[in-house]
């Protein structure tokens, strides 16, 4: 371990790119398997092609979609404390880094010795890293294209002083896993950071059903476009022939399961072809595209404890809409 400079800003960073997507199940295989199931379903990771990522950024700016601005406000307010608790010479791994806008605040204060964004869309990752390298020329970046809904083994990043590994997982993306899947994911995070490693994670909180449903079915129809883009993507990339106008976006809050569900609902009796196969739809039949689980602070802490994360600190906004947790791997 060599001591870092007083401020990393004096140095010049290096940007490296790694692709761990090789060998992953293909879009076509997942779509075919999903459309053959009794409840048709497509994994939400396929939302994020270039168009889907743009639409997601537009969702984050919608008046109804409170999570992004609320989480940003919490982070802005407590970023100094977060940076102090994480300490110096941190290897900061971010899951689902997207456009990288949320990261800037933390990178600026923390000055990590290495920043490792993990993102499924290579184009989005490349653009985000380009922008970060301009803003923070001193920052070492090892950018990883990978699907974090499956276990990931990161390469060893040598030659950079690291006192602690930390994972940053903002946006309540953990809510897109079922609680059981979330525990499995957190076990993987724990193995990645090792004992004493940290996790800073954004978690959306339970609240009024109307507010939740508005956030996932906005008045401008951006979330509807985001959801329907999956069918356009299948048509574009897999030669599918979905008549997208014959489907509608459907989002509702299931209070029993404490989760938003998003579906694409067939408006008519119809069929579509993908990969040479025909898929039939009854009127009202849906393709399940996403869940977004909501937790109380205590529920999430109990869930993380199952993956042996100790809840060190939690911050929420005054209205109790969203939470940011700092957790330590025990
Ligand atoms: C990325 N994820 C946390 C978003 C959410 O709120 O579950 C995705 C999203 N889907 C519709 N709107 C936003």
Structure confidence at residue 312 (pLDDT): 98
Q: Are strands 259-266 and 277-281 parallel, antiparallel or unpaired?
A: unpaired
Q: Find the 164 Cα to ligand 1 centroid distance in Å.
A: 30
Structure confidence at residue 290 (pLDDT): 98
Are 287 and 269 contacting, i.e. CB atoms less than 8 angstroms apart? no
Overall residue count recorded for the chain in this entry: 330
Average pLDDT of the chain is 95
Q: Mean pLDDT over residues 154-166, rounded? A: 90
Structure confidence at residue 6 (pLDDT): 64
Q: Mean pLDDT over residues 135-155, rounded? A: 93
Q: Which of 13-17, 41-45, 136-140 has the lowest mean pLDDT?
A: 13-17
Residue with tokens 């993507």: 233
Q: Report the percentage of the chain scoring pLDDT > 90.
A: 87
Kindly report, residue by residue over 310-323, the tens digit of the pLDDT: 999 999 999 999 99
Distance CA 95, CA 192 (A): 12
Residue 102 in this model has a pLDDT that exceeds 90 = no
Confidence category of residue 21, pLDDT binned at 50, 70, 90 = confident
Structure confidence at residue 9 (pLDDT): 84
Q: Mean pLDDT over residues 184-213, rounded? A: 98
Distance CA 68, CA 266 (A): 30
Q: Are strands 90-95 and 15-19 parallel, antiparallel or unpaired?
A: unpaired
Residue 206 in this model has a pLDDT that exceeds 60 = yes
Q: Find the 250 Cα to ligand 1 centroid distance in Å.
A: 14
Distance CA 259, CA 127 (A): 32
Confidence category of residue 101, pLDDT binned at 50, 70, 90 = confident
Q: Which of 289, 292, 227, 288 is nearest to 259 (CA)?
A: 292
Q: Mean pLDDT over residues 263-270, rounded? A: 98
Q: Which of 55-69, 117-131, 288-302 has the lowest mean pLDDT?
A: 117-131
Structure confidence at residue 263 (pLDDT): 99
- Substitution site in 61, 121, 124, 173 for ligand 1 pocket (most atoms within 8 Å of beta carbon): 173
Residue 7 in this model has a pLDDT that exceeds 80 = no
Confidence category of residue 243, pLDDT binned at 50, 70, 90 = very high
Are 118 and 94 contacting, i.e. CB atoms less than 8 angstroms apart? yes
Q: Find the 118 Cα to ligand 1 centroid distance in Å.
A: 17
Distance CA 98, CA 129 (A): 10
Kindly report, residue by residue over 74-99, the tens digit of the pLDDT: 999 999 999 999 999 999 999 998 88
Ligand 1 interacting residues, C-beta cut-off 6 A? 59, 67, 171-173, 175-176, 216, 223, 290, 292
Residue 1 in this model has a pLDDT that exceeds 50 = no
Q: Mean pLDDT over residues 29-45, rounded? A: 97
Structure confidence at residue 23 (pLDDT): 64
| Structure tokens that stand for 88 in this block | 């110096």
Q: Are strands 247-254 and 141-145 parallel, antiparallel or unpaired?
A: unpaired
Residue 4 in this model has a pLDDT that exceeds 70 = no
19 φ, ψ to 5°? -120, 110
Q: Which of 63, 168, 160 is nearest to 110 (CA)?
A: 168
Structure confidence at residue 272 (pLDDT): 98
Q: Find the 69 Cα to ligand 1 centroid distance in Å.
A: 13
Structure confidence at residue 3 (pLDDT): 52
Handedness of CA 184, 186, 187, 189 (dihedral sign): positive
Q: Mean pLDDT over residues 138-142, rounded? A: 96
DSSP assignment, residue 155? Answer: P
- Substitution site in 118, 216, 324 for ligand 1 pocket (most atoms within 8 Å of beta carbon): 216
DSSP assignment, residue 5? Answer: P
């Amino acid at each position: 371990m060599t001591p870092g400079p007083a401020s990393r800003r004096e140095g010049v960073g290096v940007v490296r790119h790694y692709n761990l997507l090789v060998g992953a199940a293909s879009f076509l295989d997942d779509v075919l398997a999903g459309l053959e199931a009794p409840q048709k379903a497509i994994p939400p990771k396929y939302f994020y092609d270039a168009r889907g990522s743009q639409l997601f950024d537009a969702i984050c700016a919608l008046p109804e979609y409170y999570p992004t601005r609320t989480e940003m406000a919490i982070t802005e307010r407590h970023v100094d404390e977060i940076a102090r608790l994480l300490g110096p010479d941190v290897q900061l791994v971010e899951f689902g880094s997207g456009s990288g806008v949320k990261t800037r605040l933390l990178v600026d204060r923390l000055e990590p010795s290495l920043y490792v964004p993990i993102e499924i869309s290579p184009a989005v990752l490349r653009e985000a890293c380009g922008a970060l390298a301009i803003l923070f020329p001193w920052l070492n970046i090892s950018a990883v294209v990978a699907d974090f809904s499956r276990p990931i083994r990161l390469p060893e990043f040598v030659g950079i002083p690291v006192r602690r590994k930390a994972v940053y997982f903002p946006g309540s993306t953990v809510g897109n896993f079922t609680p059981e899947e979330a525990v499995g994911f957190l076990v993987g995070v724990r193995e990645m950071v090792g004992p004493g490693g940290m996790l800073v994670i954004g978690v959306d909180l339970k609240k009024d059903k109307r507010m939740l449903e508005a956030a996932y079915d906005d008045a401008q129809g951006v979330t509807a476009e985001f959801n329907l883009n999956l069918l356009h993507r299948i048509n574009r990339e897999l030669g599918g022939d979905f008549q997208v106008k014959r489907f509608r976006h459907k989002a509702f809050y299931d209070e029993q399961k404490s989760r938003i569900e998003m579906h694409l609902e067939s408006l008519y009796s119809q069929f579509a072809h993908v990969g040479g196969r025909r898929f039939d739809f009854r009127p009202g039949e849906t393709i399940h595209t996403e869940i977004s689980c909501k937790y109380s602070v205590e529920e999430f802490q109990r869930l993380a404890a199952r993956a042996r994360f100790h809840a060190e600190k939690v911050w929420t906004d005054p209205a109790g809409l969203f939470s940011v947790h700092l957790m330590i791997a025990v």
